[in-house]
Structure 1
Amino acid sequence: MSTLEIAPRNQDSARPALHTGISLAITVALFYALCTLVWLAAPGPFLEFMNSLFHGMNFSPLLRSASFSWGSFLEALLVMSVWSFFAGTFFGWVRQRLGA
């Protein structure tokens, strides 16, 4: 006779996917904050760097005379963090399904 064993479902199977999402969200938030600090510290050189980074595209017309706004910064930080959390969680979920 053979025995049939049913492997118990691992309740923690979603954890690696969530950890991937959280890691990506934290990384995006930190790098966005760093990018903002560099922009505030040296807007001219930063703009020149961005122009050369994107193969000579001129980002100067995108400049506006509005001053820095903490509200806008926090809004963008939140939106990018939430989006990257979902993207990272989905990536982790797909990675698990592919058996990586």
Structure 2
Amino acid sequence: AEKGVKVSVVRLPQVHDTVKQGLITPLIAQTRAKGMSAYLGEGRNRWSAAHVLDVAKLYRLALDKQEAGVRYNAVAEEGIPVREIAEVIGA
């Protein structure tokens, strides 16, 4: 801000569209290759996600606002437990 640069941060979750699903895409490929899907522990940790077009809108809003020092959390939901993701992929 001293030099006229206004910096904001956009914190991204898993970003997906209709073709790629963030880190889920390689998990699907691994499940197909190994014939099984797995998770660590009880699988209660959560992965949040947002669609790529929603993320693009957030970046645009951040650029339009030009507020220095702001943090944006680009999450569309609370997150899905990894166990549920693994169960759906493995079904």
- Which structure features the higher share of helix residues? 1
TM-score scaled to structure 1, two decimals? 0.28
Answer 1 or 2: which has greater strand percent: 2
Q: Which has the larger radius of gyration?
A: 1
The TM-score normalised by the length of structure 2 is 0.30
